[in-house]
Amino acid sequence: MIKESLTHKKQRASLIINELKKLYPHAHCALHHRNPYELLVATILSAQCTDVRVNLVTPNLFAEFPTPAAMAGVPVEKIETLIASTGFFRNKAKSLKESAADIVSKHHGEVPQSMEALTALRGVGRKTANVVLGNAFQQNVGIVVDTHVSRLSERLHLTRHADPVKIEKDLIQLVPQNEWTLFSHWLIFHGRQICVARKPRCTQCSLLKHCPLGKKLIATSS
């Protein structure tokens, strides 16, 4: 296999981005939210859970606890009851309560707007922080690497890594910073509609001409 130069990979990534823009001009965060606090809560709940399920749970949750102070001020068991269907609900409830308490005590009740401050909150890793910074505060600090982004980045040969942090570092070299947040949304939309996990629909894919794996799969199946 001939190793692809960084220059060529950047050129190919640019073509992929241009195609994704055409395919998904309205790509957006699938987690329903009205403010940074709601997005933070929804993203914490989304771990090992579908966005659809989270969106079913959060309306009642936000009605009960519309602010970090409200979330911080109730027994953790009450939070558990409302989020039980999202899975791992005991750990998530602790994260929601403790992160809300820190937001109240350390950030005057406002969700912080830096990677360092966000990742200091319980239950908030780099991925969650990137979601909040990019979508709630329009800060392109990093690239969200979820299962779809990881899968498509590997299939498109934009990375050789499986570790999300290493994938993000690879993608940051290839994607213009002003498009970091949208790039994740584009790949997520494409991963849900075309480049699905078990059997990618390569024959229907507009990215095929830029996808080494897709070309290989088509060639071996013909």
Residue from 9, 51, 102, 146 carrying the catalytic annotation: 146
Q: Residue with structure tokens 């409830």? A: 93
Q: Which of 3, 127, 163, 166 is catalytic?
A: 127
Active site residue 146: yes
**Structural domains of the chain ordered from first start:** 6-26+143-221 (1.10.1670.10), 36-136 (1.10.340.30)
Q: pLDDT tens digits for the chain (222 residues)? A: 568 999 999 999 999 999 999 999 999 999 999 999 999 999 999 999 999 999 999 999 999 999 999 999 999 999 999 999 999 999 999 999 999 999 999 999 999 999 999 999 999 999 999 999 999 999 999 999 999 999 999 999 999 999 999 999 999 999 999 999 999 999 999 999 999 999 999 999 999 999 988 888 888 876
CA 140 to chain centre: 13
The long-range contacts involving 66-73, CB below 8 angstroms and separated by at least 24 positions, are: 67/37, 67/109, 68/37, 68/99, 68/100, 68/101, 68/103, 68/104, 68/109, 68/111, 69/100, 69/104, 69/109, 71/41, 71/96, 71/97, 71/100, 72/97, 72/100, 72/101, 72/103, 72/104
Kindly report whether the global pTM for this prediction surpasses the value 0.85.
yes
Is position 21 annotated as part of the catalytic site?
no
The confidence score (pLDDT) of residue 3 equals 84
Residue 8 burial (CB count, 10 A) = 10
Helices 164-174 and 126-136: angle between axes, nearest 10 degrees: 40
The position carrying tokens 């771990």 is 47
CA distance 101 to 99: 5
